[in-house]
Structure 1
Amino acid sequence: MQKSKFNRAIIIVLDSVGVGELPDAYKYGDKGSNTLANTAKAVRGLKLPNFQKLGFGNIIDVEGVEPSRTPLTSFGKMAEKSAGKDTTTGHWELMGLHLPNPFPVYPNGFPKEVIDEFEKKIGRKILCNKPASGTEIIKKLGEKHVKTGYPIVYTSADSVFQIAAHKEVVSLNELYKMCEIARNILRGKHSVCRVIARPFTGKPGSFVRTSERRDYSVKPPGKTVLDYAIDAGLKVFAVGKISEIFVNQGITEVVHIDNNMDGVDKTLAYMDKKDKGIIFTNLVDFDMLWGHRNNPEGYAKGLEDVDKRIPEIIENLKPNDILIFTADHGCDPTTPNTDHSREYVPLLVYGERIKPGVNLGIRKSFSDLGKTVAELMGFKALVEGESFAEIIVI
């Protein structure tokens, strides 16, 4: 591409906002999943006037979000090429890294040798060791945990080893240390995607999880677009759990967030302060608060809250900026299970120098996004994906 390069890419991941089942979704038990469309149906229509202008309704049919005759973005949807449907796999693929094999999952709980070693190293017994909903398991076992001091270890349909503990029973630092111990144990064939700290507070009958969750992911097995950006002299600013997903690999600066609106605030703060580089944001509430809890009303309200902030984000863009909205997987709040769903993800690309109304169709991989960002910003990234830069730049 011969045109002058872009200075900044602002990539906002609407965590779990999938746009319809992938052809192989049935293999994952996700037939019929469509996070965005099914949420819209459940609440009798979404009110997303700004996303509508960008072209959200041009990607798929969404009740309440009509297709725009003149969408402001180049738009489309992307298929996941990697095996799996988890946060880490989705984000890594967005940045050009494909995983041919899924991370291990534990539908019957973790094997005895893993739990025995974990208990020995933390000096305590554990409770649970089976798949569970995070909110339900602290409701069920929270009081016993408080009495015994035993941490609650559980998993899900995803490749996760989660440790829940009351902050007055197990300090945050101690809980984080337990997660580091688990991360060191879970290697080789038991190399789960993420170990997650799940602190909570409150009294029996009213336990609540805090925003001090921390993820301990496996390291990316190769270089991503973020690494190549840093090699090229650019900086990468991670907002939310991005740094945890990439284990700080390819990250220059990190800021943690309390919720979606805080994530938007901190994205805007970086936009105000940093003139060059990649601002990479994850808005996790869709997944954590509403998708996994089968709460379509909350999910819809969350989408509407982000929608209201879009004019503010756009007003802070500079002429050589790219703004991208996408997702990492689905988590349909209307299906019987509470797990992630294997779905296409949306793709909206906006900027003063980006052609509006270009239908990008169905991209074969999430990695097309990362490959395109690299080309637009003028650096080489030897990663998977097919750039669509040439067809969207004015």
Structure 2
Amino acid sequence: MGKYQRVFLIVLDSLGIGAMPDAESFGDTGTDTLGHISDTVPHLNIPNLKKLGLANLHPLKQVEPSEHPLACLARLYEKSNGKDTMTGHWEMMGIETKKPFITFTEHGFPPELIKELEARTGHKVIGNKSASGTEILDELGEEEIATGHMIVYTSADSVLQICGNEETFGLQELYRCCEIARELTMKDEWRVGRVIARPYVGKKRGEFVRTSNRHDYALKPTGPTALNALKDAGYSCISVGKIYDIFDSEGLTESNKSKSSVHGMEQTIDIAKREFKGLCFTNLVDFDALWGHRRNPIGYGEEIERFDVKLGELLKVLREDDLLILTADHGNDPTYTGTDHTRETVPMVAYSPSMKNSGVLKDREAFHTFAVLGATITDNFGVAMPKGTIGQSILNLLQ
């Protein structure tokens, strides 16, 4: 057993801190999610992030650097070829993705895929564009109910989503169609990260409501990760939020679905009050889904403030032998063009009540991959990373 009995890894989904050196090749020159939010919003009240030292790592208009930051801080660089949720999270746990997942945001899915999906499912496809899940129901829900057609849409993520009315389309039929879509999108030219069943109820526009019977058909990681190594060694690997979907349950011992990012923090706080040895891995998706993609810096800033309140509650229940790490999986600059993720560096804010070292760590090769996180966590528990993974531990710096 290493220094820390429990590690809490919390992903503030899309909270990038400045363009990667190769951002131009992704069309993301000059992006800076956190910095541009700070430049835009009228206030950014984050006392807990301030005392940890976030403004020491990345300048913020409203927040002075802490004279004595409590955390060890570093800027992490993505080695994988991509800027999506799965690529970022998988790299944290040791997987380098060399071939990026495909998105179909601009033009929808190709005719060849739609034709095959229609032939295999027996349903005509309507929609086939990038859209908000609630807006597309108002636009096409009545038509689907009347005709038995199938609403297919995507987003800025690498996803194929299918809507089905639980009363007329049927939940099991929706799942069957999604299973077919998952099979089809295993082809390299159509390979998406997730196929998502989006069931809903209601009879007319304005009354449609999505239900909790959503089901994600994700790709499994391309190899074993730090999660598999920890689980196989007998440690707890507890997930909160969409971590379960991102890793398709691989390497997890417990899963907790979240209703919101605030709820996800509340779940994490409750877990911190329990007895376990191992990792609690949390994803807070609202930063990305509600504010980044919708290009709303004001809402994003307010979400950061809500997180800071819950962070304060979590800090109060951390034990001397706990390690907390805050990070992100990519950027999603709400002041940038379009609605897509942005290719950015991400923060690493590492804190323990027993930690003696603090401040911004000098840049070193280990920080040029998100996989420093998985390598450090497994090192802490004396567990070897799986063969073929990347990342090097910086546990000796987090003391």
TM range (shorter): over 0.9
Distance change (3 Å), C-alpha of 1:350 and 1:116: same
1:369 corresponds to which residue?
373
Q: What per-residue deviation string (whole Å, max 9, x for no partner) do you get for residues 166-201 of structure 1?
A: 455444554344322211221131221111233455
SS state at 2:273 partner: helix
Give the aligned length.
Answer: 391
Q: How many Å apart are 1:212 and its aligned residue?
A: 5.4
Supply the distance in 2 between the matched residues of 1:64 and 1:351 (Cα, whole angstroms): 26
Q: How many Å apart are 1:124 and its aligned residue?
A: 1.2
| Contact residue 88 and residue 217 of structure 1 kept, 8 A | no
SS state at 1:347 partner: strand
Supply the distance in 1 between the matched residues of 2:145 and 2:32 (Cα, whole angstroms): 39
Distance change (3 Å), C-alpha of 1:149 and 1:217: same
Supply the distance in 1 between the matched residues of 2:232 and 2:329 (Cα, whole angstroms): 25
Distance change (3 Å), C-alpha of 1:390 and 1:68: same
Greater shift after overlay, 87-96 or 55-64? Answer: 55-64
Supply the distance in 1 between the matched residues of 2:177 and 2:309 (Cα, whole angstroms): 40
Greater shift after overlay, 355-364 or 60-69? Answer: 355-364
Residue 191 (structure 1) aligned with residue 197 (structure 2): no
Distance change (3 Å), C-alpha of 1:360 and 1:213: farther
Task: Using the aligned pairs only, state the percent identity.
Answer: 46
Distance change (3 Å), C-alpha of 1:210 and 1:72: farther
1:67 to 36, 60, 65: 65
Supply the distance in 2 between the matched residues of 1:294 and 1:100 (Cα, whole angstroms): 28
Supply the distance in 2 between the matched residues of 1:173 and 1:372 (Cα, whole angstroms): 43
Distance change (3 Å), C-alpha of 1:20 and 1:149: farther
SS state at 1:257 partner: coil
Unaligned runs of 5+ in 2: none
Greater shift after overlay, 299-308 or 141-150? Answer: 141-150
Q: What per-residue deviation string (whole Å, max 9, x for no partner) do you get for residues 211-249 of structure 1?
A: 654432211111110011012111211111101100111
Greater shift after overlay, 285-294 or 113-122? Answer: 113-122
SS state at 1:273 partner: coil
Greater shift after overlay, 210-219 or 301-310? Answer: 210-219
Residue 387 (structure 1) aligned with residue 397 (structure 2): no
Supply the distance in 2 between the matched residues of 1:201 and 1:17 (Cα, whole angstroms): 33
2:11 corresponds to which residue?
13
Q: How many Å apart are 1:115 and its aligned residue?
A: 1.8
Q: What TM-score, normalized by structure 2, do the two folds share?
A: 0.91
Aligned positions of 1:114-133 closer than 5 A: 114-133=113-132
| Contact residue 215 and residue 241 of structure 1 kept, 8 A | no
2:258 corresponds to which residue?
257
Distance change (3 Å), C-alpha of 1:299 and 1:169: farther
Distance change (3 Å), C-alpha of 1:61 and 1:143: farther
Q: What TM-score, normalized by structure 1, do the two folds share?
A: 0.92
1:113 corresponds to which residue?
112
Unaligned runs of 5+ in 1: none
1:223 corresponds to which residue?
224
| Contact residue 215 and residue 245 of structure 1 kept, 8 A | no
Supply the distance in 1 between the matched residues of 2:277 and 2:210 (Cα, whole angstroms): 36
Q: How many Å apart are 1:315 and its aligned residue?
A: 1.7
Q: What per-residue deviation string (whole Å, max 9, x for no partner) do you get for residues 117-153 of structure 1?
A: 3223332111122334445434433443343332321
Residue 292 (structure 1) aligned with residue 298 (structure 2): no
Supply the distance in 2 between the matched residues of 1:211 and 1:261 (Cα, whole angstroms): 18
Q: How many Å apart are 1:209 and its aligned residue?
A: 5.1
| Contact residue 72 and residue 398 of structure 2 kept, 8 A | yes
Q: Which amino acid aligns with 1:230?
A: K
Q: How many Å apart are 1:157 and its aligned residue?
A: 4.3
Supply the distance in 2 between the matched residues of 1:274 and 1:371 (Cα, whole angstroms): 24
Q: Which amino acid aligns with 2:310?
A: R
